[in-house]
Amino acid sequence: MKFAIIGNVYQAHKSFHAANLFRILQQRGAELCICRKFYHFLTQELQLNIPDAELFDDEAFQADMVLSIGGDGTFLQAASRVGNKNIPILGINTGRLGFLADISPEEMEKTFDEIYRYHYKVEERSVLQLKNSGEPLFESPYALNEIAILKHDSSSMIAIHTAINGAPLTTYQADGLVIATPTGSTAYSLSVGGPIIVPQSNAISLTPVAPHSLNVRPIVICDDWEITLDIESRSHSFLVAVDGRSISCKEGTRLSISKADYSIKVVKRPDHLFFNTLRHKMMWGADIR
């Protein structure tokens, strides 16, 4: 099998287990291609001896499977690079929570035994696409987790005029609005009071950030509907964040958000269930008294 490897290059301890990963892959005769930036980090910063491998930049790679080593942020970077290549991604968690990257370093040996026996499952995860009036805001306007509209350079709220399939929904007077996939429902959306949505659900959630009204609540809609946003701001600008990648946007720019025409494929071990993750990593239903 050929593996493309993308890793965290900012915190050395998050890539400490890379040496063991390469040993495991080398024992199985795997063909490797490694993100050039990650390769230089491992060889120059961590002084690791890396097996012979093809190096790649950006999205210029092909493989049977992508390996993300880091946290969920690294996994999102990997998903952005994979795009519509239809390559499944396995996340090895050296971060903290690990919803997407949920294979612990201690599980690597057993996980690759299962992979080489084709004893694993692949989950399809929906992706959001951002379109806007004027010049495109992002080179890759796709989000596996969420697209967030946020106030910028001002303590004042913004007004987000929101329509669904062309029909007015409401105007959010708030610090922002988080539009999330089911995958992203346990990320930023959850932290601002959004609902947890099972990954296989065909849904999108809209959750306001610090709304100036007690009767504004999160709403869940069908994922084949289109969301249109027009934003007013006292500073005449606002932030648009796509899976954490943010850019300043001028007032008057109309945004349209809809489901992308491709999905991201996430590799899971057979016994890794979403509800187990909720209980173990989020202490779902735990009584800590």
153 is catalytic: no
Cβ pair 178, 272 in contact under 8 A: no
**170 burial via Cβ count (<10 Å: 0-12, 13-18, 19+):** middle
Q: Measured between alpha carbons, how far is residue 269 from residues 28, 173, 228 in Å?
A: 18, 43, 38
**67 alpha-carbon distance from chain centroid:** 14
Closest CA to 256 of 171, 155, 147: 147
CA distance 145 to 138: 16
DSSP secondary structure code for residue 223 in this structure: T
Closest CA to 248 of 257, 256, 240: 240
- The dihedral over CA atoms of 87, 88, 91, 92, expressed in degrees to the nearest 10, equals -90
Closest CA to 39 of 10, 9, 11: 9
Beta strand pairing call for 255-268 and 245-250: unpaired
Q: List own/partner pairs for 57-62 with CB under 8 A and 24 or more apart.
A: 59/83, 59/85, 61/4, 61/33, 62/2, 62/4, 62/87
Q: Per the residue annotation, which of 52, 72, 223, 230 is the catalytic one?
A: 72
Annotated catalytic sites, by residue?
A: 72
